[in-house]
């Protein structure tokens, strides 16, 4: 296998893992996550050359599509068929450290932008077609629908994460990747994971539901 094809395979596998993390975050079920990822790719592959050429960042498109499918399934009863996803080989699961390092760099820049409290600075870290999804579990204030577009995402992220008295925004591991945790006196108020394409944040996923934050509390 050439270096270029190995890198391409690693990117594809990393992308699939990224979509699985989105679905697991929303549903907490591996069976549901497999179904959602399969449905996401089922919507991608029928696109013709002209349609796919019009998608500037395929990873961002897949992220939005997976998020939309999650919301569709949350809104109505559904049946999840048995997945037909083969177990990856040892070679396939080798995702390059370069991709994780890139994600870490972008996530830390996003965290630093959040700490400035400046919406314009935060906006500069986002892809033009970025998306933000928040989950309050009906117990705390959160957006009822996904927020689309860098300007709107920057404003929403500012409202949810910045300027709350007595809070500290820390960088930490979220689902095995660099993310953010907002705490007040050791109590987690929000956990943030980000999706990355190139040097930009394409999606911001914010957990605000207190029932999901208990393991993030610190003494």
Is 101 in the same domain as 71? no
Q: Indicate the number of domains in the chain.
A: 2
Is 183 in the same domain as 104? yes
- DSSP E strands, the chain: 126-135, 147-148, 167-174, 177-184, 187-197, 200-207
Distance in angstroms (rounded) separating the CA atoms of residues 219 and 143: 29
CATH number at residue 135: 3.10.450.50
Residue 143's pLDDT is what?
64
Residue 147 pairs with which residues in a beta bridge? Answer: 132
Task: Enumerate residue ranges in the chain where pLDDT < 50.
Answer: 1-9, 78, 80-83, 85, 91-93, 95
pTM beyond 0.75, yes or no: no
Is 71 in the same domain as 103? no
**Domain for residue 83, yes or no?**
no
């Amino acid at each position: 296998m050439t270096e270029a094809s190995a890198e391409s395979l690693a990117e594809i596998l990393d992308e699939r893992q990224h979509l699985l993390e989105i679905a697991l975050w929303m549903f907490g079920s591996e069976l549901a996550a497999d179904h959602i990822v399969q449905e996401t790719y089922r919507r991608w592959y029928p696109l013709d050359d002209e349609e796919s050429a019009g998608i500037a960042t395929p990873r961002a498109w897949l992220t939005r599509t997976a998020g939309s499918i999650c919301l569709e399934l949350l809104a109505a009863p559904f049946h999840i068929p048995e997945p037909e996803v083969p177990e990856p080989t040892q070679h396939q699961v080798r995702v390059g450290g370069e991709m994780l390092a890139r994600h870490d760099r972008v996530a830390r820049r996003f965290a630093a932008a959040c700490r400035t409290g400046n919406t314009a600075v935060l906006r500069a870290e986002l892809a033009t077609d970025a998306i933000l999804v928040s989950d309050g579990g009906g117990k705390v204030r959160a957006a009822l629908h996904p927020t689309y577009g860098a300007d709107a995402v920057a404003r929403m992220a500012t409202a949810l994460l910045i300027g709350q008295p007595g809070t500290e925004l820390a960088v930490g591991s979220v689902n095995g990747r660099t993310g953010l945790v907002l705490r007040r006196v050791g109590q987690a108020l929000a956990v943030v994971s980000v999706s990355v394409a190139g040097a930009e944040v394409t999606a911001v996923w914010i957990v605000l539901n207190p029932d999901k934050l208990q393991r993030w509390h610190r003494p």
